[in-house]
Structures are given as C-alpha cells and as structure tokens.
Amino acid sequence: MDAIETVITDLEITYEPTNIYYQTIHSVLDAAELIELPRRLKLILAQPKNELIVHFPVRMDNGSFSLFKGYRVQHNNILGSYKGGIRYHHDVSLDHIKALAAIMTMKCALVQLPFGGAKGGVKVDPHAHTHSELTALTRRFTSALGTNIGPAYDIPAPDVGTNAQIMAWMADTYMNVHEPHERLDGGSVVTGKPLAFGGCHGREKATGQGVVFVIEDLIPEMGFRLDQVTFSLVGYGNVGSWTGRLLAERGATLRAVMDHTGAIGHARGIDAEKLADHVLQTGGVADFPDADPISERDFYRTDVDLFIPAALEQMIDIEQAQLLNCKILVEAGNTPCTPAAEIYLNNHDLPIFPAILCNAGGVTVSYFEWKQNRQAEVWDLADVDAQLKKMMSRTTARVKARARSLNCSMHQAAYCEALDHIRQVYELRGIFP
Ligand code: GLU
C-alpha cells in the first residue's frame, strides 16, 4: 500500500475512485508527497475539522411546510477564520461539501489569505421557490447555523445558486439573533453582500476577473495574444458570464457556450454582453438569437485557443476530454475535470491552468470586503482591481516557479504552494496543547 492509501485507510475514507471527496483528498495527498509533508499534517488535512448537518422546516407560500437539509463543513482554520461559500443546489451532499471545503483551504492558503477553508449548502433548487420562500429558508438556515458562523470564526459567501441578496438576509438574520455587542460587527459574518449593505465594489465580477488576470499573465509566453485568442465556455452563470464579458472586452472571441439549457456557437463570435442579458431574461443560453444551436459533441469539438469550464464540478470526464480541440484548458470552476480526464489531458500535453489559482479572485475580493467592513472603509473599484491584480499575479508567478522547480503540472504546483504555506504555519504554531 502506498503512502496515500495508508492515510486514506487510517482515516476510514471510503475508497471510491469516482467520489469527489476521495478525489480531492487524493489530489491533496499527491502534492503532499511531492513536498514530503509530514504524515501528521497529511492526516489532519485529509479530513475536515467539523461537519455540521441541520434539518429545518420552512413554511411555503401555500401554508404547507417543507423540510430542508443544510450543511456547513469547516475543513481547516490554521491560517485564520473558516471561509467559503454557501451553495443552494438540488444535488448537494455531505461528501460534495466536504470536498469543496478542502478546496477552499487550499485556495486561501495558495493566495496566502488569513483564512481557512469551509463550505456550506442547502439541498434545494432555488429556482423552484419564490422570493418569500427563499427569504424564509435563508433566515431559518442561518439561525440553525447559530454560533457555528461568525465574523471572526466562519464567514460564508455566495456560491452556485446564492447571491448578494441571500447574503444580505444571512447577515441581517445573524445581526438580529446575536447579542447586541456582536451586532455592530455582525455584517462581516458574510461577504458578497450588496454594495449598499457593506458589499465591495467588484465582488460580483471578482472570480471572472481573477480568471482573466491569470490568463493575461500566462498566455503571452505561450505565444498567444489576449486580443486575438478564441475561447469557449461551459456555464454562463456568475463566473462564466463575467469571464466571457471581460475577455471579450479585451478583444478575445467567444466561439461557443454550453449550459444546462443547451449549446450555441458562432465562428465569427458571440456577443458576450448580449448573451448575459439573454441569460438573465430567459435563464439559459438556448435560443440566443445571434448564434446557432449546436450539439454537445460539436460544442466540445469547437476549435478554440482556450476552453474554459466555469460550471459545476467534474463536468469533463475522459469522454469529453477526448473531444476537446483547444490549446489550453482554463479551470474557472472548482475541479471541473475528473482525475481520469486530467491524466488523459496531461498525457496529451494539454496545459491546464488549475482551478485553485484561476478562481481564487472571488475569495480574494471577499477578503477585501471583510477587511473594509472591519476597518469601516470603502475602497473604490480601481483600488479593488489593482489589489486583486497584484495578489493574483504574485500567486500565478509562485505557481509557475514551483511547477518549474518541481518539474510537475501547474495543478500539482498550486497544491504544493498551498501546502507549503500551511506547513510553515503549523510549524510556527505547533499543535495544541
Ligand atoms: N464560493 C466562492 C469560491 O468557491 C467564494 C468563496 C468566498 O468568497 O468565501 O471560491
């Protein structure tokens, strides 16, 4: 049995190669091997510190009650308060949230933010509920989380299916159910709030903006010019649409897009702004008048420089990977490729810009928001963008240098960078008592 398998066996993690938690921990342990992380740290990082599951009833508009299941997993807080989004999706499960919490630990450590990693979610289809039902659900979930979240302990944020309005309800609920002396600071219990209620300029576009900064830094030396590249996107939600619009603004051509409603393509380019309006009005990319409907197979086979998955996890399996006709894969969503797809693409020398680097812009601007809330400051958009650019470029340069020194993939290099920082802090702090 190799070193990775012994950790997995010791912690009684289910050995199931298609399970996302197993896959995530395998990636972490694989990088841990490369930098010879001590076994005690491997054991600590291979499991979350806390896993909370809550069940709560919510009154529906018709007077009936529905019961919901919510999660908050706190993976690690050696670097600071737990941090990570809240997802509303019908497919969330404990293992899924555990994997995403571990990824948050890696992402925050990679950028060297003073945060640990967490993730939460409610098993619900937010589109199937009215505004008032979502308000009640969010308030009841927040109160069920109780003191498990807090501005100096665990700080949620938006994720798939949640947005600034939901963060506002969370913050308001937290401020109302806690002691008066905690209320003043209470707003910073969540980030990604609306601008008028303690939010940060540029937070909505932050993840897409971070993706674009990484592309901007890495492609010139690979022989590409940003104003001439072509790209395709999987997903046109927050991350996909902002990545699309910001790349188009810099002259890049969006050739194809796919989401849950269908796939569209246009050789001369799709107007990213108009498509964002269409998605806002109709809920998806299907039937966009200024592009042609294409099959899923043709979407993956579209000839582009950058293929950018910005949707749910594990969308690209070996079957999709074999169809790709791109020069670079940019992981804008969390773990969009299965390990099998990644091995296949590595074997075919396709460069992959790793997710924990590419999509770290969101949590980085969340950090700026939290900092502004705590210091009673308001930064303007130019300051936010400049700070984000600085942090993303610094991090990208470290990942590149590490990949070179270890002669490994950028994906492994990003995990090694994150783990090395965590190791350093564990060595300084020691293990209590
Ligand atoms: N949900 C986002 C992510 O996965 C943002 C997390 C945050 O801002 O705390 O990175």
Q: Would the CA dihedral through 305, 310, 311, 315 be positive or negative?
A: positive
Query: Closest residue (by CA) to atom 8 of ligand 1?
Result: 363
Cα gap 242→195, rounded to integer Å: 18
Q: What is the pLDDT of residue 184?
A: 66
Q: Closest ligand 1 atom to the C-alpha of 192?
A: 8
CA of 322 to the centre of ligand 1 (A): 30
Separation CA 9–CA 204 (nearest Å): 41
Kindly report, residue by residue over 396-413, the tens digit of the pLDDT. 999 999 999 999 999 999
Ordered alpha helix ranges (H), 197-265? 206-218, 238-249
94, 71 contact by CB (below 8 A): yes
DSSP secondary structure code for residue 324 in this structure: -
What's the CA gap between 106 and 357, in Å, rounded? 10
Look over the chain and give the mean of its residue pLDDT values, rounded to a whole number.
Answer: 96
pLDDT digits (tens, 9 = 90+) for 283-340: 999 999 999 999 999 999 999 999 999 999 999 999 999 999 999 999 999 999 999 9
Residue 9 C-alpha to ligand 1 middle, in angstroms?
A: 30
What's the whole-number mean pLDDT along residues 258-280? 97
Helices 20-34 and 339-347: crossing angle, nearest 10°?
Answer: 50
Which superfamily does CATH assign the domain made up of 206-353 to? NAD(P)-binding Rossmann-like Domain (3.40.50.720)
What confidence tens digit (pLDDT) does each residue in 122-138 have? 999 999 999 999 999 99
What local confidence, expressed as pLDDT, does residue 287 receive? 97
What is the pLDDT, as a whole number, of residue 16?
85
What residues contact residue 349 under an 8 Å CB cut-off, 6+ apart? Answer: none
CA of 361 relative to ligand 1 center, distance in Å: 9
| Banded model confidence at residue 258, pLDDT cuts 50, 70, 90 | very high
Q: 49-186 belongs to which CATH class?
A: alpha beta
Average pLDDT over residues 143-172: 96
pLDDT above 70: percentage of residues in the chain? 99
Residue 186 confidence (pLDDT): 81
Q: Measured from the CA of 156, which atom of ligand 1 is nearest?
A: 9
Q: Which residues neighbour 128 within 8 Å (Cβ) at sequence distance 6 or greater? A: none
Helix/strand/coil (H/E/C) assignment for every residue in the chain: CCHHHHHHHHCCCCCCCCCHHHHHHHHHHHHHHHCCCCHHHHHHHCCCCEEEEEEEEEECCCCCEEEEEEEEEEEECCCCEEEEEEEEECCCCHHHHHHHHHHHHHHHHHHCCCECEEEEEEECCHHHCCHHHHHHHHHHHHHHHHHHCECCCEEEEECCCCCHHHHHHHHHHHHHHCCHHHHCCHHHHCCCCCHHHCCCCCCCCHHHHHHHHHHHHHCHHHCCCHHHCEEEEECCCHHHHHHHHHHHHCCCEEEEEEECCEEEECCCCCCHHHHHHHHHHHCCCCCCCCCEEECHHHHHHCCCCEEEECCCCCCECHHHHCCCCCCEEECCCCCCECHHHHHHHHHCCCCEECHHHHCCHHHHHHHHHHHHHHHCCCCCHHHHHHHHHHHHHHHHHHHHHHHHHHCCCHHHHHHHHHHHHHHHHHHHHCCCC
What's the rounded Cα separation, in Å, for the pair 223 and 70? 47
Q: What pLDDT shows up at residue 1? A: 58
Angle at 194 (CA atoms; ends 191, 196), nearest 5 degrees: 120
What are φ and ψ of residue 257, in 5° steps? Answer: -140, 140
pLDDT tens, residue by residue, 206-227: 999 999 999 999 999 999 999 9
Pocket (CB within 6 angstroms of ligand 1): 83-85, 157, 159, 191-192, 334, 359, 362-363, 366
Q: What value does the mean pLDDT take over residues 115-120?
A: 98
Q: What is the pLDDT of residue 419?
A: 98
Q: How many beta carbons lie within 10 A of that of residue 296, not counting itself?
A: 12
Q: Are 144 and 67 in contact (CB under 8 A)?
A: no
Task: For ligand 1, atom 9, name the residue with the nearest CA.
Answer: 84
The residues, ordered by sequence, that sit 6+ positions from 423 with a Cβ below 8 Å of its Cβ are 35, 37, 38, 41
Residue spans in the chain of domains classed CATH 3.40.50.720: 206-353
Q: β-pairing, 306-309 with 82-89?
A: unpaired
Alpha carbon distance 27, 32 (integer Å): 9
Residues 44-82 pLDDT 10s: 999 999 999 999 999 999 999 999 999 999 999 999 999
Atom of ligand 1 nearest to the CA of 87: 1
> How sure is the predictor about 383, in pLDDT bands with cuts at 50, 70 and 90?
very high
Ligand 1 center to 40 CA (angstroms): 28
Burial class (CB in 10 A: 0-12, 13-18, 19+), 280: exposed
Pocket test for ligand 1, best of 103, 207, 243, 391 (most atoms within 8 A of CB): 207
In the reported structure, the alpha carbon of residue 81 is separated from the centroid of ligand 1 by a whole-number distance in angstroms of 14
pLDDT higher than 80, residue 2: no
Nearest alpha carbon, ligand 1 atom 7: 363
DSSP state of 115: B
Ligand 1 centroid to residue 363 C-alpha, Å: 5
DSSP conformational letter for 332: -
End-to-end CA distance of the chain: 32
Q: What percent of the chain has pLDDT over 90?
A: 92
Q: Has 119 been annotated as catalytic?
A: yes
Rounded mean pLDDT of 169-185? 84
Cα 34 from Cα 416, distance rounded (Å): 7
Q: Of 83, 98, 107, 119, which residue is the catalytic one?
A: 119
Ranges in the chain annotated CATH 3.40.50.10860: 49-186
301 contacts 325 by C-beta, under 8 angstroms: yes
**Predicted local confidence at residue 183, as pLDDT:** 66
Probe target for ligand 1 pocket from 366, 371, 372, with the most ligand atoms within 8 Å of CB? 366
pTM of the predicted protein model: 0.97
User: Do 140 and 174 meet the contact criterion of CB atoms below 8 Å apart?
Assistant: no
